[in-house]
Amino acid sequence: MKSFLKLPVAVGVIGLTALGTSGPVHAAAGSEKATIVLVHGAFADGSSWSKVIPKLQAKGLNVISVQNPLTSLADDVAATRRVLDMQTGPVVLVGHSWGGLVITDVGTHERVKSLVYVASFAPSEGQSITDMTKDYPRPSGLDHLIVDKEGFITMSPEGISKHFAQDLPEAETRLMAVTQGPIRGGNFEEKVTAAAWRGKPSWFVVSEKDLMIQPALQKANAEQISARVVSLPASHVPQLSKPSQVANAIIAAAEVAVGQKQ
């Protein structure tokens, strides 16, 4: 717990990369269309994808938003694996923030064909968030955490409005503050056992104005995993402030997943 509250994390910027698609995304004849499985992060729930989901559905994609318990890495991996086990066609697995660890660990699943990291972490085998952030300055959002007596962490309303989602209207940030999902502090010490990005094509949406995960760390992660990068002038929640651009990155990953673009 203490090491997370003292997490180091730095600021960096990469150029804007546009990923655009047109027309509905369908698999080739005789195969199934892609399913997008969305994995939320800390201080959130599945509704954090609410602006992206309609854009994906409009392209003919199946979409499922996982509801993570946020009680441990293993619990969140299990919740996501249950969803993956129910699929019969190709899957694009998308993770925001803490969800990046989840998709990294469970993304080796045979149904997963591509990965999308959104303002996220993409660790190597045996790495935790604490390991990944130790060489970066502490982001300002971590000064606005509230820890309960059982070690679960939430963000203060000020933290949500000024550091987590500072580019969203106040009405939205008030709602986010009261519906956020508490995460067990010990999660940030847990290490992934697999690195799915080693064998799967990956995308990374970098948030240039992120105050929760330093943009420099996001950029370094994206380079390490050889991801196709979309860099946006956004807060920690680009799926809410820049939903069209995030949706386009996911749609591009879906085209690869169904074999339309290699």
- Evaluate whether residue 23 is within a structural domain: no
- Evaluate whether residue 153 is within a structural domain: yes
CB contact set of 110 (below 8 Å; sequence gap of 6+): none
Do residues 115 and 253 touch, judged by C-beta distance below 8 A?
yes
CA distance 11 to 35: 34
Find the domain containing 215 and state its range: 2-7+34-257
pLDDT digits (tens, 9 = 90+) for 200-232: 999 999 999 999 999 999 999 999 999 999 999
- Evaluate whether residue 16 is within a structural domain: no
pLDDT digits (tens, 9 = 90+) for 81-121: 999 999 999 999 999 999 999 999 999 999 999 999 999 99
Bridge partners of residue 206, in order along the sequence: 231
- Evaluate whether residue 204 is within a structural domain: yes
| Count of domains observed in the chain | 1
**pLDDT recorded at residue 12:** 33
SS3 label, residue 228: strand
- Evaluate whether residue 38 is within a structural domain: yes
Q: What's the CATH number where 94 sits?
A: 3.40.50.1820
**178 CB neighbour count, 10 Å cutoff:** 8
**pLDDT recorded at residue 209:** 98
Range scoring the smallest mean pLDDT among 13-17, 22-26, 183-187: 13-17
